[in-house]
């Protein structure tokens, strides 16, 4: 009876580790390719996570304000303004932190700097994200080439909105995957503790006999491999 319970415990452990973590993990694995395509920068440093947390939040808020600002910019362009005056108008109305970042750009324009030079200064500033660089590239091209700049700005605003929606979905899938991985990692340990309370002799079999030690080592090894595998999947989409 003791050997049978111990074997049952190991079998349950192997099944829990080897079982797939559900559709969330598969979707999270697919989201890894989405991130690899360039969606969103990561500001994570080994020893600087706490120092970067607040700036990262400000950057995220700033990037969230970009689509609305671009729509206002497109309206100003349709009203007959050039790129430089339109940027000044948007900067005067933009909330912080976007408004704070646009003020040096306006100062440069008021000082006589070309639009392209002022925009490149914004893109080169510390904390400039890929969204900011994309906006700067589009506005610089529009200021130099002319044409239907307002339509291009509207399209860029829609693209940034879709990108942020996709980033939010990826984060949600990663959270679901981590929760599923945590349950699968804890389940074999909880089951082993339950078997121990029901049949204490199972512990003696696992630690005092060669077969039991073999089963215990195999189970712990599979548990560790499964935990590393799930951590790799969920960490790649964090």
The three-state DSSP-derived secondary structure of the chain is CHHHHHHHHHHHHHHHHHCCCCHHHHHHHHHHHHHHCCCCCCCCCCCCHHHHHHHHHHHHHHHHHHHHHHHHHHHHHHCCCCHHHHHHHHHHHCCCCHHHHHHHHHHHHHCCCCHHHHHHHHHHCCCCCHHHHHHHHHHHHHHHHCCCHHHHHHHHHHHHHHHHHHHHHHHHHHHHHHHHHHHHHHHHHHHHHHHHHHCCHHHHHHHHCHHHHHHHHHHHHHHHHHHHHHHHHHHCCC
Q: Are 93 and 87 in contact (CB under 8 A)?
A: no
Same structural domain for residues 161 and 54?
Answer: yes
- Provide the domain limits for residue 91: 49-168
Full-model pTM:
0.55
**pLDDT tens, position by position, for the chain (238 residues)?**
444 434 434 344 333 434 444 433 444 444 444 443 443 344 344 344 434 456 888 888 998 999 999 999 999 888 888 888 888 999 888 898 998 889 998 999 889 889 889 998 898 888 888 889 989 988 888 777 766 788 888 888 898 989 888 888 888 887 887 788 778 778 877 887 887 788 777 777 777 888 888 888 888 888 888 878 877 777 655 5
CA distance 130 to 171: 18
Shared domain for 108 and 198, answered yes or no, is: no
Looking at 136, 168, 200, which one is the last position of a domain? 168
Among 137, 168, 199, the domain-final residue is: 168
Give the tokens for residue 31.
């989201």
Residue 192 lies in a domain: yes
Say yes or no: 158 and 182 in one domain: no
pLDDT tens readout for residues 41-77: 443 443 444 344 568 888 889 989 999 999 999 998 8
124 and 151 inside one domain: yes
Residues 164 and 177 in one domain: no
Q: Is residue 42 part of a domain?
A: no
Let me know whether 6 and 55 are in one domain. no
Residue 43 domain-assigned? Answer: no
What dihedral do alpha carbons 214, 12, 172, 229 form, nearest 10°?
Answer: 20
| Tally of domains within the chain | 2
In this structure, the answer to whether residues 161 and 62 fall within a common structural domain is: yes
Asked if 101 and 184 sit in the same domain, the reply is no
């Amino acid at each position: 009876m003791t050997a049978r319970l111990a074997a049952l415990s190991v079998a349950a452990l192997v099944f829990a580790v080897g079982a797939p973590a559900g559709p969330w993990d598969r979707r999270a694995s697919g989201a890894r390719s989405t991130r690899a395509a360039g969606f969103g920068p990561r500001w994570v440093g080994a020893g600087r996570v706490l120092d970067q947390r607040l700036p990262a939040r400000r950057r995220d808020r700033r990037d969230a304000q970009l689509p609305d600002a671009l729509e206002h910019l497109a309206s100003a362009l349709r009203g007959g303004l050039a790129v430089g005056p339109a940027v000044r108008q948007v900067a005067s109305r933009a909330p912080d932190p976007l408004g704070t970042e646009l003020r040096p750009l306006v100062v440069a324009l008021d000082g006589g700097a070309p639009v392209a030079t002022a925009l490149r200064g914004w893109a080169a500033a510390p904390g400039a994200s890929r969204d900011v660089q994309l906006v700067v590239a589009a506005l610089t091209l529009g200021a130099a080439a002319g044409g239907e700049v307002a339509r291009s700005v509207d399209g860029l605003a829609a693209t940034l909105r879709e990108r942020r929606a996709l980033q939010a979905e990826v984060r949600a899938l990663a959270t679901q995957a981590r929760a599923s991985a945590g349950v699968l990692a804890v389940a074999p340990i909880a089951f082993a503790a339950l078997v121990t309370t029901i049949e204490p002799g199972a512990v003696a079999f696992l630690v005092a006999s060669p077969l039991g030690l073999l089963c215990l080592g195999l189970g712990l090894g599979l548990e560790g491999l499964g935990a590393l595998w799930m951590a790799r999947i969920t960490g790649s989409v964090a």
